[in-house]
Structure 1
Amino acid sequence: MKLKRFLLRYYPPGIILEYNHKSDGNDDQKTRTKSIDLIDLTPNTDVDQVVMEIIQKEPLISPSRSDQIRNLVERLQDKLAQSVNQEYHLFKVLRAHILPLTNFAFNKSGNRFITGSYDRTCKVWDTDSGEELHTLEGHRNVVYSVAFNLPYGDKIATGSFDKTCKLWSLETGKCYYTYKGHTAEIVCVKFDPLSRVIASGSMDTTVKLWDVQDGYEITTFSGHSAEVIDVQFNSTGEKLISGSFDNTVSLWDIKGDRREHYFIGHRGEVSSVCFNFDGSLVASGSMDKSCKLWDPRVGKCVNTLLGHEDEILDVCFDSTGQYLATASADSTARVYNVKTMQMITKLEGHEGEISKLQFNPQGTRILTASSDKTCRLWDPFSGKCEKVLEGHTDEIFSCAFNYEGNIIITGSKDNTCRIWK
C-alpha cells in the first residue's frame, strides 16, 4: 500500500487517506480511501497530541508526515472556530413550479439546488442568481422525491408517482436512464455514498436498487407489508435501512443481497429513519409518538425516547452522531445526547406541527419547518429560538442547510421556495 494524498472532511472533522492498493497475485493497483475520524476535535484540542495519536495508530502515515498532518489538523480547527452565528436574511423568493412543490435538495457546494413538483417536473436552479438552469421533463405523474449524488453532484435522481425512477445529468439536463419495475408510487430515492447505486422506496412495499453506470435493476428487497416511506445508506454504502408504514424498520445487506435485521417494536407507522455518522446506531421516528434507537450490528432496540404528545414526523443526527433531534406534530422538537440518552432541550415556540428538522453542519443550530408558515433557528443546547424565518403564506413542509451551513432553503405549500443567506 502506498499513500497518494490527503483530503480534508470538515463535517464531521476528519482526514481522508487516498492510497494505492495492489491485490494478491495482481499487478494492477486500485485507488482506495480510508478515513481518520476526528469527531471530538475542537478549536482548543492539543494539536501535537492529535498528531502523535494519528501517527501511532495509522501505518500508512510515517513520522516524516507529522508537519503535514499538523497543518491539516490546524485547518480543521480553524474551520471549527469560524463564527457560525450567522444572521440569515431573505435572499430570493422563487415561484418554482406551476403546481405545488414536493421536495428539494442542495448539491454539496450549495451553488445548485433541485425541486420536485406535482407538475411532473424537476427543476435545476442556480442558488446565487435564482435562475432556472434546466427543467427535467419526462415523468408522467408527480415528481415526489429528488436527490443529488453527493459529494459529486453531477447526477440527479427523481422518483415519481408514475412508478419510475429517472437518472439525469446536472450539466445537460439529459435523462440517462428510466428505471422501471415498481408497481406503485415511488416516494423516496437516495444515492449510495460512492454514486454507484440508487435506492428507491415505493408504496408497492419494496425497495429496489438500480445501477447508476449501466442502468439496470440490481435487486429487489421484499419483506415489508406496507409502503416504504424512507430509505438511507450508511456512510460506507454497504448497508441500507428502510422505514415502513407496517411499523417496522429493515436493515439490508447490500453485498449479501438480503435482509440482515428486522426492527420490530413501534406501535405505529414509521415516519423517518436515519443512520448516525459511523453507522453504529439507527434512529426511527413513529406515529406512536416515540423515537427508537437500534443497534444495527445485533438488530436490537437499545433505547426508546418518549415524551412527545403527538406523532414524531422527523428524526436526525448531527454530523458527528453525538446528538439526535426529533420533530413532532405536537409543535415541539427535542434534542438528546446520544451517549447518555438524556434530553438536553425542548424546542418550544411553533404554533403548528413540525414536519422537518436539520442540524447545521457545525452542529450549533437546528432548523425546523412548521405548518405555522414559519421556520425557526434554534440553539440546540440552550433551547433558545435565535431567528424566525417568516414570509411564507402556507405550511412549510421542508427546510435544508447547504454543506457549509451558510445558506438555507425553505419550501412551502404556497408554491414557493425561499433562499436565506
Structure 2
Amino acid sequence: MKLDFKFSNLCGTVYKKGNVVFTPDGNSIISPVGNRVTVFDLVNNKSHTLPFENKKDIHRLALSPNGALLITVDEDGRAVLVNFPRRVVLHHHNFKSEVHDLQFSPNGRYLAVSHQKQVHIWRTPGFTRDFAPFVLHRKLPGHYDDVVHLSWSSDSRFLVTGSKDMTARVYSMEEVEGFEGAVLTGHRDTVVGAWFSKDNQTIYSVGKDGALFVWNLEEKIRRDAEMNDGGGKKRRKGVDGQEIRTISKWLASEKHYFNQSAAKVTCVSFHAPSNLLVVGFNSGIFGIWELPDFNNIHTLSISQKKITSAAINATGEWLAFGSSALGQLLVWEWQSESYILKQQGHQHDMTCLTYSQDGQFIATGGDDGKVKLWNTTSGFCFVTFTEHSGGVAAIEFAKQGQVVFSASLDGTVRAFDLVRYRNFRTFTTPTPVQFSCLAVDPSGDVVVAGSMDTFEVFVWSVQTGKLLDIMAGHEAPISGLAFSPTEGMVASGSWDKTVRVWDVFGRDKAPESFEHQSEVLSVAWRPDGKQFASTTLDGQVSFWDMSFGKLTTTIEGRRDIAGGRKATDRMTAKNSQSNKHFTSICYTADGSTVLAGGNSKYVCIYDIPSKSMLKRFQISANLSLDGMQDILNSKNMTEAGPKDLIDTAGENSDLEDRIDSSLPGVKSGDASLRKTRPEVRTKAVRFAPTGRSWAAASTEGLLIYSLDETLTFDPFDLEIDITPETVLEALISKEYLRSLVMSFRLGEKNITQKVYDSIPVESVSLVVRDVPQKYLDRLMGLLVAAIEGSPRIEFHLVWVTGLMKFHGKWLRERYGEVGSAVRALQKGLGKMYEDVSKVCDDNTYTLNFLLSSMEKNQMEEETPMEIEAVGMDIVGL
C-alpha cells in the first residue's frame, strides 16, 4: 500500500476571517481559511488550497499587482512570502506586531504595512534567495492610534491612511515641492477607509459611523518675505522681492451619510476606474454608491451577521464579501444582480462524513443541523439540506442509488434524494430519543440507528418508512454502528464496554457480545465481513475474528496520538494521555490496514498483521487551536489564568463587540462568541472507495489527503534492457503491445502516455485482448489519467469497452484487489459523461435557436415576394 498521501484540499471551510483579494485578472478570489489560503477559480468552478500554513489564523493578505507574490500575515504579525503561481514559500518574516492592513504599490516597488501608530514602507521582495528579502525603506509616523487602512495613489507617489484616531493622513514617498503632508480631520469615529480618485485630485474617506467625506486638492500661491534657508541658498522670489511658493492643501468639499438605521460600517472597498464604493455594515447589509454624485445603485441584505470583508475585481463587475461569524463567502455581479459564488461551511463543528460509492462526492454533517454535499473534484458545496433541527451525529450513503441518510440529535433519521434534492423519507420512534450513530444495509433496504438515552437500536424499512424492530440489550449510550458488507449482521458499540453483533433479518439467534476493557467509541467492518475493529476510551484498537468470535489483535494507540497540551493542562504533554483516544476508524479497500483519528492532532495508519503504525499525519499546525503545543511558555500564565483564555471583549469600543451571550466555558455554539479556544481534534475519518485519498472531519474543516503520482518513481519488473529508447523503438516498429508493457515496467509517466496516444484506434482491441492480467490495474490507472486530461473521448471509450469485453470476468472475480481502480475508472467515465452531456445540451439549444431563426428569416423574405406578385397581377389587370 502506498503511504505518500499529501494534503490535497480543504473543503469544509470557505472563509474564516481577514480580507479577501481578487487576482489581477479578476477570475479568481483568494480567501483565508484559518491558517491556510484557498483560491476559488470563478471561471472554471474549482477551488484549491495552497500547501503551506501560517503559525496562527491569517489576519491579512496581499497580492502583488502582477500576481506573482502573495504575503499572508497571521494574528501575531508573522508573515509568509509565497510565489503564488508555483505555490512555493520563499521567506518567513516577523513584523513583530499585529498588522491591520498591508498593500503593494501599483508599480510593485513598495509594500506598505501598518505597524501600530506608524506605517512602514518595505521594498518589495524579489524571487531571489537574498539574505534579507525584506528591506525597510522608511517609516511614516504621525498617527496617535493604530492605523487600520492603507491606500496608494495610482502613480505610487502618495499614500493615504486611516486610523482609529479618527483622522486620515496623506504621505509622499518622494519629496514634492509644496507638499508637506496633510491631516484630514472631521470624522467622529474610526476612519475605516480612504482612497484617491483616478486622477489623484480627490480623496474619499469613510468613517465607522457611516459618514463619507470628499476632499479636493487645491493649490494656492503664497508670497513671503525673502529668506535664506539653512544652506545659505535663497529661495525663488518674484519681481517685488517676495518669495513665491505653491501650496497644496486638501479641503473637505462634501459630506454624505449612508443612513443605515444606526448600523456601523465594518468594511469598505473602492474601485477608482469606475468610481464605485462598496460598503458593508454590521447588520449584514451592503450598498453600492457611485461617486462623486453619491448615487445609491444597490442595497442588499446578504447575511444575518456583520460583513467582515469586501473586495472588487479589476473590472469592477464582481463584488466579494466574507462574513466571519457564519463562514460565508459570496461573489455578486451587481449589474445582473446575480450570484457568481455562494458558499458557506458548517457554522459549528463538523461531526461526521462519508464518501459516495464512486468517490466523487463527500457528505458531511455538523452541529448546526445541516447536511452538506461536496464535490471532491471542484471542492465546492453543491447542495445543503436544513431539515434537521438538531446537530447531525452520523451520516451514510446508500450503497446503491443516490440516497444519503443522516441521524440527528433531534430524534429523526432522514433520507435525502440526490436526484431531486429533497427529503423523501423521515424515520422516527414511538418516543422521542437522540440518535448518536447510523448504519445502512448494503442493499439499501434497511437503516438502523442507535440512541443515546434509551440504549436501543432501531430498525426501519427504507421502502415503507415503518419501524421494523427495536433491538434492546445495551446498558449505556450506543456510540457506533456498522453493517457487515457480506451478511445481514450489524455491530453496535456502546459505553457499557461491549460490542454486540445482531442478525437483523433473522431474530431467532441471540446477539453475540464481545467484552472490552473500556467504553467502546466506534466500530468498523473489514470489507470481506470476516473481521471487525473497535476503538475504546483507553486508546486501544481491538480486532475481532467473527469466524471464531475471539479477539485476535490489539493495538495500543494512546502513545501514538499523544502530543499537544491544552492551555489549562497542569501536566506535560508526555504524561497527559488520559484524554487521547480514537473516535473514528475505517478499513482500507484491501482490509490490511486501518485509518484512525480522534481526540488529537494526529491521524494514524496501522498495519493489522504486524500491529505497527505505518504513518502518522498531523492534520494542522495552527497554534490558534488548543492542544497544539507540546511545551507551554510560563510567561503566558497570569494570576487570572492563561493569557489566551482571558476575555478581552470589554476593551472593545463598540457595544455589539462587547456583548457576549454565550455561557461561560462552552466549547460549542457560535465560534465568534465563545471564550475558550477551539480544540484540535478529528471527529471522523474515511478512506475513499478508490483508495487514492482519504478525508478527515476536523476542527479546521474537511481535510482531503491524496496520492501525488507526479513525484513518485515506482518501476514494475524493471530490467536492464528496458529503457526509454527501446520502448520508442518498439513503438516505431508497430509492436504496440510490447511497447505498452515495456512502458508499464519502466514506470515513466510521460513515456507511457506517449505510447498510449500513439496506438491506432483500429489496433486497440487487439492490444487490450492480449494485455497480461498483472498489468490490468496499471492499464486502468492509465485510462483514468487519460480520461481526465485528454479530450479524445471516442478513443478512451474504445479502450474501456475492450477492457470490459475481454477482462470483465477476471475483474469481477478479483474485485477486492482491483476494486479501487475500477471505481476510479467509473468516476472518470461519470465525469466525462457529465461534460459531454452538458456540451450536447448546449449544442441542441443552439441548433434549435438557429433553425427557428432561419425559419423566421425565410418567412420574412417570402412575404414581400408574395406582395410584389400580387401587385404585378393588379397592374396586369
> 2:598·2:681 contact (CA, 8 Å) conserved in 1?
no
User: Following the alignment from structure 1 to structure 2, what is the Cα–Cα distance between the partners of residues 332 and 120?
Assistant: 26
User: Following the alignment from structure 2 to structure 1, what is the Cα–Cα distance between the partners of residues 589 and 483?
Assistant: 15
1:168 to 401, 404, 416: 416
Matched, 1:89 2:29: no
Using the TM superposition, give the Cα deviation of residue 118 of structure 1 relative to its aligned residue in structure 2, in angstroms. 1.9
Partner of 2:362: 113
User: Following the alignment from structure 2 to structure 1, what is the Cα–Cα distance between the partners of residues 606 and 368?
Assistant: 36
Using the TM superposition, give the Cα deviation of residue 413 of structure 1 relative to its aligned residue in structure 2, in angstroms. 2.5
Partner of 1:195: 444
Partner of 2:540: 290
Alpha carbons of 1:97 and 1:318: their partners in 2 closer, same or farther (altered >3 Å)?
Answer: closer
> 2:370·2:388 contact (CA, 8 Å) conserved in 1?
yes
Query: 1:77-117, CA deviations, whole angstroms, 9 ceiling, x for partnerless residues?
Result: xxx9xx98565433755341233322222212232222212
Aligned-partner SS, 1:226: coil
Partner of 1:212: 462
> 1:125·1:133 contact (CA, 8 Å) conserved in 2?
yes
- Aligned pairs for 1:341-380 (under 5 A) are 342-345=610-613, 347=615, 350=618, 372=628
Aligned-partner SS, 2:511: strand
Q: Please, what TM-score do these two structures have when normalized by structure 2?
A: 0.31
Higher gyration radius (CA) = 2
RMSD value, Cα: 3.2
Using the TM superposition, give the Cα deviation of residue 278 of structure 1 relative to its aligned residue in structure 2, in angstroms. 2.1
Alpha carbons of 1:126 and 1:317: their partners in 2 closer, same or farther (altered >3 Å)?
Answer: closer
- The unaligned stretches of length 5 or more in structure 2 are 15-343, 560-576, 621-625, 630-677, 707-877
User: Following the alignment from structure 1 to structure 2, what is the Cα–Cα distance between the partners of residues 409 and 332?
Assistant: 10
Using the TM superposition, give the Cα deviation of residue 225 of structure 1 relative to its aligned residue in structure 2, in angstroms. 0.3
2:680 to 395, 399, 402: 395
Query: 1:290-316, CA deviations, whole angstroms, 9 ceiling, x for partnerless residues?
Result: 333323244333344446445541444
Partner of 1:25: none
User: Following the alignment from structure 1 to structure 2, what is the Cα–Cα distance between the partners of residues 212 and 286?
Assistant: 31
Using the TM superposition, give the Cα deviation of residue 396 of structure 1 relative to its aligned residue in structure 2, in angstroms. 4.5
Alpha carbons of 1:400 and 1:294: their partners in 2 closer, same or farther (altered >3 Å)?
Answer: closer
Alpha carbons of 1:102 and 1:236: their partners in 2 closer, same or farther (altered >3 Å)?
Answer: same
Query: 1:347-374, CA deviations, whole angstroms, 9 ceiling, x for partnerless residues?
Result: 457599xxxxxxxxxxxxxxxxx9649x
User: Following the alignment from structure 1 to structure 2, what is the Cα–Cα distance between the partners of residues 97 and 119?
Assistant: 7
Matched, 1:251 2:536: no
> 2:607·2:614 contact (CA, 8 Å) conserved in 1?
no
> 2:397·2:405 contact (CA, 8 Å) conserved in 1?
yes
Query: 1:176-210, CA deviations, whole angstroms, 9 ceiling, x for partnerless residues?
Result: 22111164311111211111111111112111111
> 2:7·2:704 contact (CA, 8 Å) conserved in 1?
no
User: Following the alignment from structure 1 to structure 2, what is the Cα–Cα distance between the partners of residues 115 and 206?
Assistant: 25
> 1:105·1:146 contact (CA, 8 Å) conserved in 2?
yes
Matched, 1:241 2:497: no
Query: 1:26-72, CA deviations, whole angstroms, 9 ceiling, x for partnerless residues?
Result: xxxxxxxxxxxxxxxxxxxxxxxxxxxxxxxxxxxxxxxxxxxxxxx
User: Following the alignment from structure 1 to structure 2, what is the Cα–Cα distance between the partners of residues 321 and 407?
Assistant: 15
The code of the aligned residue for 2:699 comes to: K
User: Following the alignment from structure 2 to structure 1, what is the Cα–Cα distance between the partners of residues 437 and 699?
Assistant: 19
Matched, 1:132 2:403: no
Matched, 1:321 2:591: yes
> 1:312·1:326 contact (CA, 8 Å) conserved in 2?
no
- The unaligned stretches of length 5 or more in structure 1 are 1-79, 353-369, 374-392
Matched, 1:335 2:606: yes
Alpha carbons of 1:319 and 1:417: their partners in 2 closer, same or farther (altered >3 Å)?
Answer: closer
The code of the aligned residue for 1:301 comes to: L
Of all paired residues, the percent bearing the same amino acid is: 23
Aligned-partner SS, 1:108: coil
User: Following the alignment from structure 2 to structure 1, what is the Cα–Cα distance between the partners of residues 543 and 398?
Assistant: 27
The code of the aligned residue for 2:377 comes to: D
Matched, 1:143 2:377: no
> 1:142·1:160 contact (CA, 8 Å) conserved in 2?
yes
Q: Please, what TM-score do these two structures have when normalized by structure 1?
A: 0.62
> 2:585·2:685 contact (CA, 8 Å) conserved in 1?
no
User: Following the alignment from structure 1 to structure 2, what is the Cα–Cα distance between the partners of residues 279 and 334?
Assistant: 20
Alpha carbons of 1:323 and 1:112: their partners in 2 closer, same or farther (altered >3 Å)?
Answer: closer
> 2:413·2:427 contact (CA, 8 Å) conserved in 1?
yes
1:102 to 351, 356, 378: 351
Aligned-partner SS, 1:113: strand
> 1:399·1:411 contact (CA, 8 Å) conserved in 2?
yes
> 1:351·1:372 contact (CA, 8 Å) conserved in 2?
no
The size of the alignment, in residue pairs, is: 298
Alpha carbons of 1:168 and 1:268: their partners in 2 closer, same or farther (altered >3 Å)?
Answer: same
User: Following the alignment from structure 2 to structure 1, what is the Cα–Cα distance between the partners of residues 702 and 375?
Assistant: 13
User: Following the alignment from structure 2 to structure 1, what is the Cα–Cα distance between the partners of residues 591 and 539?
Assistant: 22
1:417 to 702, 715, 719: 702
1:177 to 425, 433, 446: 425
> 1:206·1:228 contact (CA, 8 Å) conserved in 2?
yes
Alpha carbons of 1:283 and 1:412: their partners in 2 closer, same or farther (altered >3 Å)?
Answer: closer
> 2:373·2:382 contact (CA, 8 Å) conserved in 1?
yes
Q: If each structure's strand is expressed as a fraction of its own residues, which one has the higher value?
A: 1
> 1:407·1:419 contact (CA, 8 Å) conserved in 2?
yes
User: Following the alignment from structure 2 to structure 1, what is the Cα–Cα distance between the partners of residues 458 and 531?
Assistant: 23
> 2:393·2:437 contact (CA, 8 Å) conserved in 1?
yes
Partner of 1:263: 514
> 1:156·1:170 contact (CA, 8 Å) conserved in 2?
yes
- Aligned pairs for 1:49-60 (under 5 A) are none
Partner of 1:12: none
Aligned-partner SS, 2:444: coil
Alpha carbons of 1:194 and 1:371: their partners in 2 closer, same or farther (altered >3 Å)?
Answer: farther
Alpha carbons of 1:306 and 1:409: their partners in 2 closer, same or farther (altered >3 Å)?
Answer: closer
The code of the aligned residue for 1:395 comes to: V
Alpha carbons of 1:99 and 1:220: their partners in 2 closer, same or farther (altered >3 Å)?
Answer: same
Higher relative contact order (CA 8 A, sep 6+): 1
> 2:6·2:705 contact (CA, 8 Å) conserved in 1?
no
> 1:325·1:336 contact (CA, 8 Å) conserved in 2?
no
User: Following the alignment from structure 1 to structure 2, what is the Cα–Cα distance between the partners of residues 407 and 291?
Assistant: 22
Matched, 1:186 2:457: no
User: Following the alignment from structure 2 to structure 1, what is the Cα–Cα distance between the partners of residues 5 and 542?
Assistant: 33
User: Following the alignment from structure 1 to structure 2, what is the Cα–Cα distance between the partners of residues 136 and 108?
Assistant: 20
User: Following the alignment from structure 2 to structure 1, what is the Cα–Cα distance between the partners of residues 420 and 547?
Assistant: 42
